[in-house]
């Protein structure tokens, strides 16, 4: 066989092999897709209700105790500092207002790496997907069927709810560590303030804690918390959300030193 023939045959063989892989992947892919869409009703209406702690006040209106399993108090998006929203979107879902609830490019990239393994080895979740996972699924599970189901529910939720409502629900749902669920509880527990008063350094710390709340806990792992906060500030600077001087000032800010009880 001449070199010219080899140059012609090799691409054909490679193309045939790729086609064979795709055909072999179709049955499990179809099964996964079918399992993912088995859901009836309006997604937003089926979402589980958030549990909140009951606050006990004394006769002067001072808080003297809280009752409940999860430390959480819901707040409106308008009561959250814009810098907190910016930090969150920069680190977790930069295309939040542009995507349809699912990052289709990430799904396509991860799908062919995951489908033959039979479990999820790679994948990036949007804020909507994270919200769906936290509110619809309680047991941790990393399977393709589960991931596709999350994606389908996310697409439907995105079509039902305005983006700001999804963002508000996410901020009131997500776990920030130290027993704090939602931005209100986290602001109080870490900084003794309210979400509306969070500054850049505080927002970066909270946004950075979401992926690993315990590993980035400023009280138990200050070194890790500082590194993660710096990473978030760097990302915000790269996308033009903050200036160089703002980044420098925030990086020099001390971590919270008043450990919650």
pLDDT in tens, 77-120: 999 999 999 999 999 999 999 999 998 777 676 666 655 555 54
> What CATH number corresponds to the domain at position 72?
1.10.3810.10
pLDDT of residue 11: 47
pLDDT of residue 66: 44
pLDDT of residue 240: 98
DSSP 71: B
Contact residues for 93 (Cβ-Cβ < 8 A; gap 6+): 99, 103, 126, 127, 128
pLDDT of residue 148: 83
Q: What is the pTM of this model?
A: 0.74
In a domain, 7, yes or no: no
Using alpha carbons, list the distances in angstroms from residue 134 to 115, 150, 166, 174, 237: 23, 10, 13, 8, 29
In a domain, 177, yes or no: yes
pLDDT of residue 38: 45
**Alpha carbons 134 and 78: distance in angstroms, whole number:** 23
In a domain, 68, yes or no: yes
In a domain, 30, yes or no: no
pLDDT of residue 54: 40
H-state helical runs in the chain: 3-36, 43-46, 82-92, 104-114, 127-136, 144-160, 163-173, 183-191, 200-209, 222-238, 244-251
In a domain, 19, yes or no: no
Q: Which token pair is 169?
A: 């629900």
Residues of the chain with pLDDT under 50: 4-39, 53-68, 120
**Alpha carbons 8 and 112: distance in angstroms, whole number:** 27
Q: Which of 148, 118, 120 is nearest to 133 (CA)?
A: 148
Query: How many domains does the chain divide into?
Result: 1
**Alpha carbons 32 and 35: distance in angstroms, whole number:** 5
In a domain, 27, yes or no: no
**Domain range for 151:** 43-251
In a domain, 12, yes or no: no
pLDDT of residue 3: 54
Using alpha carbons, list the distances in angstroms from residue 33 to 12, 121, 209: 30, 17, 32
User: Helix (H, G, I), strand (E, B), or coil: what is residue 126?
Assistant: coil
In a domain, 32, yes or no: no
């Amino acid at each position: 066989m001449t070199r010219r023939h080899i140059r012609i045959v090799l691409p054909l063989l490679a193309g045939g092999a790729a086609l064979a892989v795709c055909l072999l992947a179709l049955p499990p892919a179809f099964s996964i897709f079918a399992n993912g869409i088995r859901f009836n009703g309006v997604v937003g209406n089926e979402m589980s209700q958030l549990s909140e702690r009951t606050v006990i006040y004394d006769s002067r209106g001072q808080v003297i105790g809280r009752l409940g399993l999860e430390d959480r108090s819901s707040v409106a998006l308008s009561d959250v500092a814009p810098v907190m929203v910016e930090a969150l979107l920069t680190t977790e879902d930069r295309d939040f207002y542009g995507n349809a609830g699912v990052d289709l490019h990430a799904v396509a990239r991860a799908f062919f790496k995951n489908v033959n393994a039979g479990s999820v080895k790679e994948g990036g979740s949007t804020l909507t997907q994270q919200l769906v996972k936290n509110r619809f699924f309680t047991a941790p599970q990393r399977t393709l069927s589960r991931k596709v189901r999350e994606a389908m529910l996310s697409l439907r939720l995105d079509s039902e709810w305005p983006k700001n409502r999804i963002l508000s629900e996410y901020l009131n749902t997500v776990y920030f560590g130290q027993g704090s669920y939602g931005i209100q509880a986290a602001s109080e527990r870490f900084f003794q303030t309210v979400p509306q008063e969070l500054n850049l350094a505080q927002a970066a710390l909270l946004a950075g804690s979401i992926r690993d709340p315990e590993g980035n806990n400023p009280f138990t792992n200050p070194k890790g918390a500082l590194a993660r906060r710096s990473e978030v500030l760097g990302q915000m600077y790269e996308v033009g959300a903050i200036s160089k001087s703002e980044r420098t000032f925030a990086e020099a800010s001390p971590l919270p030193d008043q450990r919650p009880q």
